[in-house]
A and B are shown apart, each in its own frame.
Chain A
Amino acid sequence: MFTPVQAIGRLTIGYVRELGRMGWFILYSLYMIARRPGHPLYILKQMRFIGTKSLFVIVLTAAFTGMVLGLQGYYTLAKFGSEGMLGTAVALSLIRELGPVLSALMVTGRAGSAITAEIGIMRISEQIDALETMALDPFKYLITPKFVAAMISLPLLCAIFDVVGIYGGWLVGVKLLGVNPGAYFYEMEKSVVWRDVYSGMIKSFSFGMIIAWIGCYKGYFSGHGAEGVSRATTESVVLTSVLVLVWDYFLTSILL
């Protein structure tokens, strides 16, 4: 039996150890990427899984996000007689914030969980051990291709999200609510600057890294059996989503 102080100490040591292991995991992954990023074929395969296969959900979410922004934006701006600024409001919300964050959350749910499950199953069925016994580094075959693929795919998905979302806003604002189509795009073009675009891309890039990091880490160190993999998958989705939102705040405060 532990006294309360011992229990707190034990818990703290456990968390510190876990944090250390997570830190080592991402540092070693980045070191491996710098040294040998993995076979292009593995990277392309992962890009197809993380990127291409997420397209449908990204387009769908983006369209409805843009449409909701169109609706909400119109009714807010109409109060000030500034409906013409709708394009700017939709574009800036999407490019700076909603595009990177929502695309990252969608990819977390679709691909992040699958990455954890895949690596977790390979761990419990000794496939990772098999790689090690062949004197092959599992990071080179399993981890770094996923990191590279996620860091490339997320900005691309985010760009698609932004474009589809802007047209979603246009559909509602211009076609349904009668905002001047010229004003929608002209005001947008006037207000959106490159800094907005690349700050969104930087966010997406770093969210891609977070998704690959937590997805791979949780799978690599998943517990025993089906229950261990299932728990790891849940933890992976929750932790990635939280980290994306927390990191988004800090990154926004730096990039503003």
Chain B
Amino acid sequence: MIKLTDVHKSFGAQKVLNGLSLEIPEGKVTAIIGPSGEGKSVLLKHIIGLLQPDSGRIEVDGESILGLRRSQLNRIREKFGMLFQNAALFDSMSVFENVAFPLQEKTKLTRDEIHRRVLSALEDVGLKNVEEKFPDELSGGMKKRVGLARAVVLNPKIILFDEPTTGLDPVIKRAIHHLIKETHAKFGFTAVIVSHEIPDIFDIAQNVAMLYQGEILQHGTPDEIQASSHPVVRQFISGSLDGPIHLG
């Protein structure tokens, strides 16, 4: 389980997380929704220790990840996989090398075994015959799928998805969501998805947390969130221009 307690984070004068508390249950898919610029990606980066909060506690499986030495933090990070918003593929490596990289560096598998695992991971995300291509030769959807293959190849316990479908067409979007659902069913990892995809995200997630003004405004099952009477949640779900959420 991932537990955040009273987390505060500011960048200069801008307060991004303002006493945020959230519990992310093990083995479930939790979606973080909320307007753009509210700190959802910042929240993900805190969970994996890429950013340190100004105050508060962050625990992964009961262990605090704050104030650790790099080696201690890396031991916790080994539980994680992460799919970045723009996939963050290594642009000097081919698709095969990108997916093989964590296996080469973190396991003692033989070359043949790595080869087999990479092809299997790529097949799981619906990619064939792209192993020799480089990231700049791939479409946005393909990059995300390679990123997903790289994130799951070590069978991590927890996977963080940072806006996995932003900027994709509706068909690819649906395919990526289906893929996340399928890989989650297959591997049973804990998933945290930052997404704006309303209402699609309600089909994938078992828990939904709405982030607004640096705090978790509401947290519950997709049905509970959809039935919420809170004006901010209602406006965000309906996409209405009228309500407490102001543009800019």
Contacts and interface: CB of A to CB of B under 8 A. Distances in A.
Interface residues of B, number: 24
Interface stretch (A18-26, A131-139, A167-175): A131-139
B77 to A, nearest CB: 4
Interface stretch (B2-10, B30-38, B80-88): B80-88
A166 B153 CA distance: 56
B106 A125 contact: no
A137 B88 contact: no
B106 A127 contact: no
A126 B106 contact: no
B181 to A, nearest CB: 22
Interface string A112-156: 000000000110011101101111110000000000000000000
B105 A134 contact: yes
B50 A129 contact: yes
A115 B172 CA distance: 36
A95 B75 CA distance: 49
Query: Which of B74, B84, B88 is the most central at the interface, judged by chain A CB atoms within 10 Å of its CB?
Result: B88
Contacts of A137: 70, 74
Contacts of A122: 90-91
Contacts of A129: 45, 50, 84, 88
B192 interface: no
Query: Which of B75, B77, B81 is the most central at the interface, judged by chain A CB atoms within 10 Å of its CB?
Result: B77
Interface residues of A, number: 13
A113 to B, nearest CB: 17
B91 A125 contact: yes
A135 B75 contact: yes
B48 A127 contact: no
B160 to A, nearest CB: 8
Interface string B82-112: 1011101111000000000110011000000
Nearest to B79: A135
B78 interface: yes
Given A125-B88, A135-B75, A135-B77, A130 B82 contact: yes
B99 to A, nearest CB: 12
B224 to A, nearest CB: 31
B80 A126 contact: no
Nearest to A28: B70
Contacts of B106: 134-136
Interface of B: 45, 48-50, 70, 74-75, 77-78, 80-82, 84-86, 88-91, 101-102, 105-106, 160
Given A122-B90, A135-B74, 10 more contacts: A122-B91, A127-B89, A130-B90, A132-B77, A133-B50, A133-B80, A133-B82, A134-B77, A134-B101, A136-B105
Nearest 5 CB-CB pairs, A to B?
A135-B74, A126-B88, A135-B77, A130-B88, A133-B82
